[in-house]
Amino acid sequence: MNPRSALILIVIAQFLGTSLWFAGNAAIPQISLLLDLPNLTAWITSAVQLGFISGTLIFAIFSVPDRYSPRFVFLISACLAAFFNLLIAVIPLSFGLVLTFRFMVGFFLAGIYPVGMKIASDYFEKGLGAALGFLVGALVLGTAFPHLIRALDVNYDWKLIFWITSGIAILGGLLVGLFVPDGPFCKKNLQFDWALLPKLSKIPALKSAASGYFGHMWELYTFWAFVPTLLWALGNYETTGFENGLYSFLIIGVGAISCAIGGLLANKFGSKNIALISLFGSGLCCLLVLLIPSFPKGFLLPFLLIWGMLVTADSPQFSTLVAQATPAIYRGTALTLVNCLGFALTIFSIQIGQFLLAHYPTQWVMSTLFIGPALGIFLFRFFQKKRETLNQNLST
């Protein structure tokens, strides 16, 4: 199969598979009524995130994406994630079961999102930045989708969400498992090595790329989580209103476009330059948000749309740099491990943001997110210099 055809199928499968990620969020109002429990959003979202962190950690420790055919890992993970997703709709529910099933969905998403990037990297020795731009864009669009549902206020049977998302996730798994053979640059590492993770931590280029990615992740999910709050606090758009839902969808969803555009630009200007420019720009937005109250209301939406573009465009490029910095036989493990640590950071960032919002104005809290981009850029350059010094010493 040629790389372009493979990429199209992987992007479609990635979108279909990651639709499971926020399926529970779209049904939260109905589940809350059923269980007579308000404020389930944080619980259900955190359960998926914790599941994903646990899954990526296990997959990385045992080098699952590198020891086994990644397309079959993708297929099996998609089917198992769809199974646990569907259980919410077919058995009597309790609060504990809902969280358990969402945790398991997140666990097996570890075999979809980073493994999808691994499969793409096996097809693209050149142009990987563009390929991952489209893949991450598919995830971003899926992330934004629940806000569109919220805006439309469509009356639907909540169980239908789980039937549909489980069905299309299995379809996505079949697309990859049956129609996307292992790529020409795929190399298996059949040996299990307990020392692999320490080995990876000694690669300066990998530490440089991972540091930038971690700074990006500190900002990204907290920004996404509080977009509705920003719209309410700075624009008086009620969180339950049509405008808030629609604008939240647009602000998050526009990141899918910037991921794709950033990927195409990376072919010309390099993934490192696109990633650092985007990370610097989003960090600048963190500080500029302090000035929003002094500007006319019409300035808010364009500003947040720009922020929504910059905050996501660096993600696929840092993942590209991670893949390029790692030997092919370890690439899947490296991508999975970096995803694991990055998503772990999001939980701390979101919880700190939630705590600060109870005591300080929204724009002040969001401005503190610049810490992520600032540290990310600093550490990226720090490890890059160490790499350059190491290369100079080896050449002399």
Residue 189's pLDDT band (boundaries 50, 70, 90)? low
Mean pLDDT is highest, among 43-52, 139-148, 169-178, 379-388, for: 169-178
Give the 3-state secondary structure of residue 160.
helix
Q: What is the pLDDT of residues 116-146, one digit of tens each?
A: 888 988 888 778 888 889 888 888 887 787 7
The domain segmentation of the chain, as residue ranges, is: 3-185+194-395
Q: What is the pLDDT of residues 238-275, one digit of tens each?
A: 866 788 888 988 999 999 999 999 999 999 899 999 99
Q: Is the dihedral of CA 213, 219, 225, 230 positive or negative?
A: negative
Specify the pLDDT at position 185: 78
On the question of pLDDT at 191 being above 80, the answer is no
Side-chain-facing half-sphere of 244: CA atoms under 13 Å: 18
150 or 144: which leads in pLDDT: 144
Residue 198's pLDDT band (boundaries 50, 70, 90)? confident
- Contact present, 180 and 10 (Cβ < 8 Å): yes
Cα distance between residue 52 and residue 58, in whole Å: 10
Cα distance between residue 319 and residue 327, in whole Å: 14
The CB density around residue 130, as the number of other CB atoms within 10 Å, is: 26
- Contact present, 172 and 16 (Cβ < 8 Å): yes
What would the two tokens of residue 82 be? 């769809």
**Interior/surface letters 321-360, b for 16+ CB within 10 angstroms, e for the rest:** bbbbbbebbbbbbbbbbbbbbbbbbbbebbeebeeebeee
Q: Which range, of 9-23, 24-38, 264-278, 287-301, averages the lowest pLDDT?
A: 24-38
Cα distance between residue 211 and residue 383, in whole Å: 9
392 or 382: which leads in pLDDT: 382
Specify the pLDDT at position 392: 59
Place of tokens 């990385």: 60
Determine the average pLDDT of the residues in 83-90. 95
- In whole angstroms, how large is the CA radius of gyration of the chain? 20
Q: What is the pLDDT of residues 337-385, one digit of tens each?
A: 898 999 999 888 888 888 898 889 989 999 999 999 999 999 999 988 8
Q: What is the pLDDT of residues 58-79, one digit of tens each?
A: 998 888 888 888 999 999 999 9
* Strand spans (E) along the chain: none
> Residue 127, by phi and psi: left (phi above 0), alpha (psi -120 to 50) or beta?
left
Q: Which residue type does 344 have?
A: A
CATH architecture of 3-185+194-395: Up-down Bundle (1.20)
What would the two tokens of residue 153 be? 């206020």
**Residue 22 neighbours by CB under 8 Å, 6+ apart:** 48, 142, 143, 145, 146
